[in-house]
Amino acid sequence: MTIFLAILGIVSGLATVEGLLQGLPPLTADYLLLIVFACVAAPMNLDLGHNARLSTLQPLMLAAIALFGIPEAILLAAVSMIYFWAAGRPRQPMHKAAFNWCNFVLAAWLGGHVYYATGGRPGDVTSPASLVALLLTALTFFAVNTSLVSVAVGLEQRISPFRIWYEKYSWTLNTQLTGASVVILLGMLRQTFGMQALFLIVPFCVMCYHFYKVYFSRASQRSHRT
């Protein structure tokens, strides 16, 4: 497990340096508002069992990539994960916080490169090329996040990583695609309302989060009874 975390830390560190070498992102009002909502979303995750969790942060990371750029997505991921660790109660152990930071930063970096390498353009969520790029980026997020978490949980609990992935994450692809749909809606509303469109979209996302949270809690209780 230690070796795995060390390798992940080195790779994500190099990715951060490469991304930020493109230039520090300008702290515009739109971008800062997105960071605030990302920090609000970061602690809202669903416990799937075996320390596997489903985060609500991915749509906002996708939005940072599609609407702003790779450095902006990396910074958003880093800041929101630091906030998650600082504000979370009980506070996560440092090694888990470091893993989450590396996981999301690496997903932001790789997802950003996939988006722009496959024809995506900043601020464009309606052209055919950008829509295909957004889909591929969502799939990249799904692959990076779920595979890394499955390996980490598998090593920690001595369970097959594939079993963790298949049982806990294989069915969650639809949530990634839903996140991409939210980004498309946000991008279209942004052209009219600016990033204040977040105030229109986020309440529905929060409602979906609480619905799934109640659903998982009741499903877990029924499985324990049987």
Give backbone dihedrals phi and psi of 48, rounded to 5 degrees, phi first. -100, 0
- Threshold 0.75, pTM exceeds: yes
Number of domains within the chain: 1
Which of 71, 72, 94 minimizes the C-alpha distance to 82? 94
* Tokens standing for residue 146: 């779920």
Residue 67 lies inside a defined structural domain of this protein: yes
Residue 27 lies inside a defined structural domain of this protein: no
Return the amino acid letter for 67: L
Helix (H, G, I), strand (E, B) or coil at 63: helix
Which of 132, 45, 126 minimizes the C-alpha distance to 87? 45
Domain that holds residue 135: 2-20+34-220
For each successive 10 residues of the chain (226 residues), what is the average pLDDT? 84 87 80 87 68 72 90 92 84 86 92 93 89 93 89 86 83 80 86 78 67 56 46
Helix (H, G, I), strand (E, B) or coil at 47: strand
Residue 189 lies inside a defined structural domain of this protein: yes
Is the separation of the CB atoms in 9 and 47 below 8 Å? no
> What local confidence, expressed as pLDDT, does residue 223 receive?
42
Residue 53 lies inside a defined structural domain of this protein: yes
Beta-sheet pairing, 52-55 with 45-49: antiparallel
Alpha-carbon distance 26 to 32, whole Å? Answer: 9
> Could you check whether the bond before residue 161 is cis, i.e. omega within 30 degrees of 0?
no
| H-only helix segments in the chain | 2-20, 29-41, 58-67, 70-87, 94-117, 128-157, 161-164, 173-193, 198-225
> What local confidence, expressed as pLDDT, does residue 217 receive?
57
* Tokens standing for residue 120: 């995506």
What CATH number should be reported for the domain holding residue 194? 1.10.1760.20
CA distance readout (Å), 190 to 114, 124, 135, 198: 23, 11, 20, 9
Instruction: Tell me how many degrees the CA angle 112-31-137 measures, rounded to the nearest 5.
Output: 20
Residue 25 lies inside a defined structural domain of this protein: no
The residue count of the chain comes to: 226
Residue 203 lies inside a defined structural domain of this protein: yes
> What local confidence, expressed as pLDDT, does residue 224 receive?
42
Alpha-carbon distance 161 to 146, whole Å? Answer: 10
> What local confidence, expressed as pLDDT, does residue 46 receive?
65
Residue 79 lies inside a defined structural domain of this protein: yes
User: Could you say which DSSP state residue 218 is in?
Assistant: H
